Amino acid sequence: MKKIALVTGGGRGIGLGIASHLAEEGCDLVICGVREESAVAAALTALRDRGAEVLYCRADVSSSAGRSEMLEEIKAHYGRLNVLVNNAGVAPSVRTDILEADEASFDRLMAINLKGPYFLTQAVAKWMIEQQQSDAAYDACIINVSSISASVASPTRGDYCITKAGVGMATQLYAVRLGEFGIPVYEIRPGIIKTDMTAGVTEKYDRLIGEGGILVQARWGLPEDVGRAAAMLVRGDLAYSTGQVLMVDGGFTLQRL
């Protein structure tokens, strides 16, 4: 039976890279995003061309009602779920020194990047436990997409860094709690990846990467780099490594001398 995978923010960028590789792994998909379905039509077609059945849910992960309506839709459509990829996330609209940054941006990022995946995982985990208890062959995993910002301090986007550090702890908490149910929880920490999120800072990162030193592998990361890592986890290649963090950062965070 094909696995069903929910990829939040799977309509573009890193999420689309992940969804594409999960489609190639033989998963059917649920893609969630905040835009209308017509705006992601090309991405959904590309995923279907890779052999996946695709359900699109327009849902805001920061909204409790949005999350539960999405899960009801998935239950009605597929009746089951094997994989949750918490990928949806936002950067601050404007990068601001932490001595000046306001609470509105902090609250927005906390709601979308941390509270959303934390409580979506809670709801999905309960459903996964039910499925596991009624089917001995049931196979599931949860993947959180955080960032190198979980451990690399950028004082012009402190709110973002704090949300990603929080996702790191959420990974550990759920890995511990779901261990007895055989549901591994992993975290992928991407580095500098070429997507709409980084489009506004292309010149800065082009320069930093070009000058050398910042990355060991001196190129932009691509959504498919993250997609391949996620596919490996969904395949079960790291089945005995729950709670682990997988760096997909071209060596950005390697300590060097």
Q: How far is the CB of 192 from ligand NAP (least distance, A)?
A: 5
Nearest-approach distance from CB 160 to ligand NAP, in angstroms: 7
Residue 197 lies near ligand NAP (rule: CB under 6 A)? yes
Out of 156, 172, 198, 253, name the contact with ligand NAP by CB under 6 A.
198
Site string for ligand NAP, 128-147 (x = CB under 6 A): -----------------x-x
Q: Is 90 in the site for ligand NAP (CB under 6 A)?
A: yes
Of 68-76, 88-96, 100-108, 134-142, the segment contacting ligand NAP by CB under 6 A is 88-96
Stretch that binds ligand NAP, among 83-91, 102-110, 130-138, 169-177 (CB under 6 A): 83-91
Task: Among 1, 26, 35, 72, indicate the residue that binds ligand NAP (CB under 6 A).
Answer: 35
CA-derived radius of gyration, the chain:
18
CB 25 within 8 A of CB 33: no
Please indicate whether residue 205 is annotated as part of the active site.
no
Nearer to ligand NAP, 14 or 140 (CB): 14
Active site residues: 160
